[in-house]
Amino acid sequence: MKLGLILECPIEGTDHQVYEYVVQQLCPQLEIIVEGHRNKKLMIDNCGKTAKLLLKKCDVVAIIWDLMPPWEKKRRGKRRKEPCRHNDIVKIQTNLENAKVNLSKVKLICIEPELEGWIIVDGSALTKYKKEIVSPHPVKKFNNVKQLNNSDDSKKRISKYLKQKYNKIVEAIKIVKHFDNFDKIAKKHTSFCRLKKFIEELSSCP
């Protein structure tokens, strides 16, 4: 079984590193092919063409993106639009339909509010990571955070706990590699649960 991933980050970026690792942990037998875009807007605008190319060599494609932040630029004198999963989905589906992609072979997974949102619902990995970087000094446990659907505070919370600016490109994958139980995260975070369930369903395919 070959899975194509379309992400809103460049190849070798944060999403690529993290989601490829997570998928491999959930289903080692899956072969993964990743296509990345520089940002969310480019991903939405080009997902149809990208999915069509991936489906020539993959059995199924998953499009994974963060709800936060919204990709619309803030115009002078106007507030940036509030993020809306439904609007993102409509734009993505329209692009896929225009490219004549078989929608039954494409799974859309919006991570709410952002990748770091599911990292902080279970503080065990973040605590282990901090112990690693400040050793041998003692570390206070990072308390679990309830799912934040419409807030992009996750990165700020991580930075505050680490007492240094969180570098997502380098640190996200290091934190995620400290998780030893993705079931716990799935119970606490709705969109991560959808991702995990999708991968597990693929793993049961012949």
pLDDT at 72: 57
Distance CA 78, CA 147 (A): 29
Q: Which residues of the chain have pLDDT under 70?
A: 70-81, 205-206
**Which H or E element spans position 15?**
helix 14-26
Distance CA 142, CA 154 (A): 13
* Domain chopping of the chain, boundaries: 2-115+169-203
The DSSP output letter for 120 is T
Distance CA 173, CA 19 (A): 9
CATH topology of domain 2-115+169-203: Rossmann fold (3.40.50)
pLDDT, one tens digit per residue, over 170-203 is: 999 999 999 999 999 999 999 999 999 999 999 7
Percent helix, strand and coil across the chain, each to the nearest 5: 50, 10, 40
pLDDT at 151: 76
